[in-house]
Structure 1
Amino acid sequence: MYIHIYGAGTTADRIQDCCHTRRLRERNAVKAATWYKIILPAAKEWSLVINFIRWGDRLQFNNHHPMFPTLFTTLWDTTCIRIQEPRNWAVARYTCNGHYDFPCYLVLLGITFTGMLVFYSGLHRSTAYDSHIFQDTGHLHPQHHFEMNIGDVHFRNCSNFATPPVKPTGGHHSPADLVFMQYLQLVRSRIETLNTVFKRHGMFKKGAIFRGHVVNLAVFVKITAHGTAVELRERQQLRGPRHTGFGWWAHF
């Protein structure tokens, strides 16, 4: 609840108003002391053991696309979490990135062709390159040596990645490059849908700026990521997959 309404005048009183139920009608139902002494510590403890993201789901037999029927399993991207400009210079130098034009941290996300979240890692400094984040977290997402991935141009330094072709200096893309680029962009648009679900909470919406301790932010982001994975699975069971799978065979 705190994550969802953050930025809309969120205070302990605001949370208290949202928590009123038939069993909780009395005034000051959720006090600041309760928030800082019970709820926040419980959230921190929960974030240490929460485990709703299933890396193994990338190998499900329907996780294919007509243009990538074998070998390819995961689509990768990073998304930014905007924060207030740090007062500490040592922290600020790792969070201020000219690419985003505002202080932020990065989160690495991996999804399947069916739109299921299968990997999350963060918080990462915004000055880090996407390919370096992927390589530095390799021990968290072990893959077969012949397994393939899809990402944007920032992942072109990683092995086993299909990325948009780079236009040669002073030249033009070949017709084959343009067709392949359209294939990639069509598939990569699916991770933008995931970003919308992940960042639709008040704390992460466009224009929202987190003000607080980075440890608390890491807790909120992790809980949100795992909650998003659960939400996507529940939605798939109730309404069907957001993106229809293709085929029913092994990747390798």
Structure 2
Amino acid sequence: MNLEWILTINPVLLALIATLFTWGITAFGASMVFFFKTINKKVLNSMLGFAAGVMIAASFWSLLKPSIEMAEASGTTPWIPALVGFLAGGAFLLIIDKILPHLHMGLSIDKAEGIKTPWQRSILLVLAITLHNIPEGLAVGVAFGALASNPTTGALAGAIALALGIGLQNFPEGAAVSIPLRREGFSRLKAFHYGQLSGIVEPIAGVIGAYLVLVMTPILPYALSFAAGAMIFVVVEELIPESQTGNETDLSTIGAMLGFATMMVLDVALG
């Protein structure tokens, strides 16, 4: 596949296209509500585990590793941007987690996190998924924004692999929002609407991330590791605990292993 011509396209536009794709996969996952009213717990845990594995692998292969390599090439101490950006990304998500009202799946309304509001349980469930779509969109945007300073087919293939991986794990996330909303009493159409809406932050975060690294090239290694830190925070805070609920924890662990392996193969083979 000849990728040379794609490099002539503005990186911000590429980031928008890529994150519209990941949003589209979220909507595709949300569309499962038209076919199912419930989702098997074993299947859901496996899918959440898979999503966690993809995000862990993407954090290293697509974000931290390039951050270290870029810092080394520029003569900077390689681990400094990776460390600073990684911790800053986690801290950023921690702050949002404390502020944004949201509710994790399977918990009662009194377990809602963030600022206390009278919002309905369904809205809080949507916001929980929306919260961890932010670093996903940011990661894809930063990866494509990096093409401005490193316009190579290898870097482009790596960014495409990241978008594919994020899109792949967005499918279960879309279903994990819309199907529970159906059980909450929403119509299928309304449950689908809110399910796909949870992914709309990805194009927004993607364009912002791409633009920032485009106009401030020196922050690129920090931006890459920042996105990695934000994604790892989401994995540890939300995806892994949610995937481990119930008695079939082996399935979610197997899902995580398969997700990691899939993203690793995508990144290494394409990037």
Query: Same fold per TM (> 0.5)?
Result: no
| Structure with greater helix share of residues | 2
| Structure with greater strand share of residues | 1
TM-score by length of 2: 0.28
The structure with the larger Rg is 1
